[in-house]
Amino acid sequence: MTQQYNTKSAGVRRLMQEAKELRQPTEMYFAQPMEDNLFEWHFTIRGTIGTDFEGGIYHGRIMFPAEYPMKPPNLILLTPNGRFELNKKICLSISGYHPETWLPSWSIRTALLALIGFLPSTPGGALGSLDYPPKERNRLAKLSGDWKCKECGCLMKDVLLPITEDGQSKESEEAKQLAAKLKFQDESAVKKEVAEAAKASSNTEETGPPTGSSDSERETPSEPSQSAQNLTENSASEAEAPVEPQAPAPMPEHFHQPARRIESSTFDYYLLIKIPLALLCIVIFLTLGARRLLVENGNPRNGEPEL
C-alpha cells in the first residue's frame, strides 16, 4: 500500500500512523483501512453496558476527505442498530455554527469513541437518526453478533476483544465525554439547516425545495428547534444558530476556525508593538513638556522679579 500513496502528504502519513496504532482490536472498537484504499476504513464498535445497545456490536465505514485531519471523516453504519440510519453518511459535523466540534488533533479513535458515546443519546431532528423503542434496539443488539460484513468479511462477534468490566467502563466514560463535545449530523440535515438559515437571512420567497430536502423530510421529521431541546449540550448554540450571518457559506467548508486563530494571533502581535510605541510617545511627550517647564521656571526672565 505504501507505494500507492504520496507519503509526503500529511493526510496519508497521518492515516498510516493511525492504522499502525489501531492495528490491535480493543474491547470497544477496532478499525483498519481497506486493502485497496487508505482513505476508506471499516470499523467495529461495541454498545455500552446499561444502554439500549448493550451487547450490540456494530460495523461501518469511515470515509476520509483528502484534507484529513483538517476536515473530519464521515462515518456510515452498516449494522442495523435502531439509532442511526444505515448506509447514510454521518458527519462529525463542523458547521459554521459549531466550529468547536472537530479539531485536527483528534483521531479515528476519537471519532469512534464519540460515536459509541453518541449511540445512547436522544436523537434530535438534525441528526437524521432513528428513534426505535428500547425493546427493538435490544433485539437488534442481540442479533448484531451474527452480522457479517459483505465487503471485508468480518463477523461481528469475532472482531473485538472479549469484554472486561474495567476496560469497558474506562472507555465508556471517555466516549460519553466526547459525545457531549462532538456533534453528529447527516449530510441532508446539514444541507437543510444551511438552506433554512439562508432563507431566514435573505428573507426571500422559496424558489424550490433545497437540495436533499426530500431526504430530510423522510429521515429527519423533527424540527431543528426540537433538536435544540434534545441536545442539551449544544442547545445554546443551536438556538442562536439561525441568526448567524455566515450561515449561507457552503457546508463542506468546515474549517474557518484555524484561519480565525491565525488572524487573532496576528492581531495580538501588532498590539504588542503598538502599545509600547504609544507608551514611548507619551513618555517622550511628557519628558519634553516637563523639561520645558523646568527650563522656563529656571529662566530669570520668567521667574519672579528680583526686588
CA 25 from centre of chain? 24
Residue 165, helix vs strand vs coil: helix
CA distance linking residue 266 with residue 281, whole number of Å: 23
Q: Which part of the chain contacts Zn ion (CB under 5 A), choosing from 23-31, 36-44, 169-177, 282-290?
A: 36-44
Residue 245, helix vs strand vs coil: coil
Residue in the shown chain whose Cβ atom is closest to Zn ion: 149
User: Site for Zn ion (CB under 5 A): which residue of 16, 149, 160, 180?
Assistant: 149
Cβ nearer to Zn ion, comparing 70 with 149: 149
- Give the nearest distance from C-beta 167 to Zn ion in angstroms: 23
Q: Are 30 and 44 in contact (CB under 8 A)?
A: yes
CA distance linking residue 189 with residue 212, whole number of Å: 8
Decide: is 160 part of the binding site for Zn ion (CB under 5 A). Answer: no
Q: Which part of the chain contacts Zn ion (CB under 5 A), choosing from 24-32, 50-58, 79-87, 146-154?
A: 146-154
CA distance linking residue 57 with residue 168, whole number of Å: 13
CA distance linking residue 307 with residue 296, whole number of Å: 19
Q: Total binding residues for Zn ion by CB under 5 A? A: 4
Cβ nearer to Zn ion, comparing 26 with 211: 26
Decide: is 63 part of the binding site for Zn ion (CB under 5 A). Answer: no
CA distance linking residue 144 with residue 44, whole number of Å: 11
Is residue 205 classed exposed, middle or buried when 0-12, 13-18 and 19+ CB atoms within 10 A define those classes? exposed
Decide: is 152 part of the binding site for Zn ion (CB under 5 A). Answer: yes
- Give the nearest distance from C-beta 61 to Zn ion in angstroms: 7
User: Site for Zn ion (CB under 5 A): which residue of 42, 71, 109, 191?
Assistant: 42
Decide: is 76 part of the binding site for Zn ion (CB under 5 A). Answer: no
Percentages (nearest 5) of helix, strand, coil residues in the chain: 45, 10, 40
- Give the nearest distance from C-beta 7 to Zn ion in angstroms: 26
- Give the nearest distance from C-beta 60 to Zn ion in angstroms: 8
- Give the nearest distance from C-beta 66 to Zn ion in angstroms: 22
Residues tagged active-site: 91
Q: Strands, DSSP E only, in 147-249?
A: 184-186
Cβ nearer to Zn ion, comparing 112 with 197: 112
Instruction: Give the footprint of Zn ion on this chain (CB under 5 A).
Output: 42, 149, 151-152
